[in-house]
Amino acid sequence: MQNFQGKVALITGASTGVGEGIAQYLYQCGATVVITGRHKETLETAANNIDPSEKKIIPIVMDVTDPKSVEAVISQIEKHYGGLNYLVNNAGITGSHGVLIEDYALDEWDAVMATDVTGTFYGLKYGIPAIIRSGGGAIVNLSACNGITGIAGIAPYTAAKHAVLGLTRASALEYAQKGVRINAIGPGYVATPNILALPDNIQSWMAGMHPMVRMATREEIAKTVAFLLSDESSFMTGAFIPVDGGYTAQ
């Protein structure tokens, strides 16, 4: 387990699911972790579940689609917690499934792009300067296994996750000599509480999409994120790591 004592991490979309799992693991590694999302009650519940003392898990309401909100929260982190060392751009939505492009609602396309692509851009735009001011650090962007493959029926999400890789690679090149490493991961299906609440046949279908015939655990995703944030990956930037049980190897 990495040692992140004295480090401050921001994780977007961390009130539930994969983001919550990443927050919990980084907290266990000793980091002070700011978790953000749009719903105060859900954020506070997640924070309390991870750290009942509420000293090293800090819930802050933030909307990744609003640049002023992102900028204000990062400024708040610098002011109150001494700087920002790590950023995990996790917030994302999938949109409707099983819909042809010609039938896809325009407002749904806009919502997916605003959250998954523009939200990641805002995180980079305001997070990178803060990390530089703190002496350098690392960023992990959440793409997906369909960031390098095509999946029919979810064109906006597939396009968005490809775009996240473009942002990752461009920003990694821009800041390679400025003390900020920027990488991306591509999870397959993850056994989050919401997924585990689905009917057994749907869970089995999800598991069967991977050659390993199971879903990832949240901890497996979190450990990969922690590796990319840590000095153990000190010569890695602009990389994409699938964490997908072999899905993209097919």
pLDDT of 54: 77
Question: How many domains, the chain?
Answer: 1
Answer for the pair 142, 182: CB distance below 8 angstroms, yes or no: no
> For 159-171, what is each residue's pLDDT tens digit?
999 999 999 999 9
| Cα separations in angstroms, 53 against 27, 35, 207, 239 | 12, 15, 36, 36
Q: Is residue 3 part of a domain?
A: no
pLDDT in tens, 39-88: 999 999 999 999 998 789 999 999 999 999 999 999 999 999 999 999 99
CB 149 within 8 A of CB 98: no
pLDDT of res. 53: 87
Q: What average pLDDT is seen over the chain?
A: 97
Residues annotated catalytic, as ranges? 157
What local confidence, expressed as pLDDT, does residue 236 receive?
A: 98
Q: What is the CATH number of the domain that holds 37?
A: 3.40.50.720
Residue 116 lies in a domain: yes
At 173 the pLDDT is 98
Burial (CB count <10 Å: 0-12, 13-18, 19+), residue 226 = buried
Contact between residue 36 and residue 14 where contact means Cβ atoms under 8 Å apart = yes
Whether residue 1 is contained in a domain is answered as no
pLDDT at 240 over 80: yes
Question: Does 22 score more than 80 pLDDT?
Answer: yes
Which structure tokens are listed for 203? Answer: 């869970």
Q: 180 is in which domain, residue-wise?
A: 8-243
CA nearest neighbour of 141 among 205, 212, 188, 86: 86
